[in-house]
Amino acid sequence: MKFGQLLSVVLIAGLVGIATNVGYEYITSEKPHPDQKKFNEFLDENWQDSLESSPLFASLLGDKRYDDQVSSNSVEDFFSSGEYEKYVLEVLNGINPENLSEDGKLNYRLLKSDYEVSLEGRKYPGYYMRLNQRWCTGLLLIWKQTKF
């Protein structure tokens, strides 16, 4: 057998093997439910929003995109983040967790529980907390809003 013929046989065998593997993967892999796809896209969106709203956390994780920003401690942002938490719960309520994978179901329950607890905790805003040796931001925020 000549080198050109040998090369042709190897290339054809390789292409047939690749095509067979791709076809097998396509036939045997399950297509994700639309709720799973929606949930995965929402998780990505939510993660990016979390990094953007907390630049210090993003920097601690090694994401340097927000190094030129500082987290806001304003009361307005406190209330707007409450609106975002309501939005997250609305999106999650629009997804049927039974249509998610096992990992997706766990992530769904954890995320929903986290936002429900956070929204419930908004009844007791942290910016009213007392001044102590470890935390004084709340008092500073109250002081900034009052007119002496």
pLDDT one-digit tens code per residue, 45-63: 999 999 998 888 888 888 8
Q: Tell whether 132 is covered by a domain.
A: no
Residues of the domain holding 23:
1-30
Helix 34-53 crosses helix 102-121 at what angle (to 10 degrees)? 40
Q: Could you give the CA distance from residue 36 to residue 138 in angstroms, rounded to a whole number? A: 40
Helix 34-53 crosses helix 75-93 at what angle (to 10 degrees)? 170
pLDDT of residue 92: 95
> Are 37 and 110 contained in the same domain?
yes
- The HSE-up count of residue 43 (CA atoms within 13 Å, CB side) is 18
Q: Tell whether 146 is covered by a domain.
A: no
Q: How many CB atoms lie under 10 A from the CB of residue 102?
A: 7
**Domain count for the chain:** 2
pLDDT of residue 129: 62
Q: Could you give the CA distance from residue 107 to residue 110 in angstroms, rounded to a whole number? A: 5
pLDDT of residue 41: 95
pLDDT of residue 42: 94
pLDDT below 70 — which residues of the chain? Answer: 1-30, 126-148
> Are 54 and 100 contained in the same domain?
yes
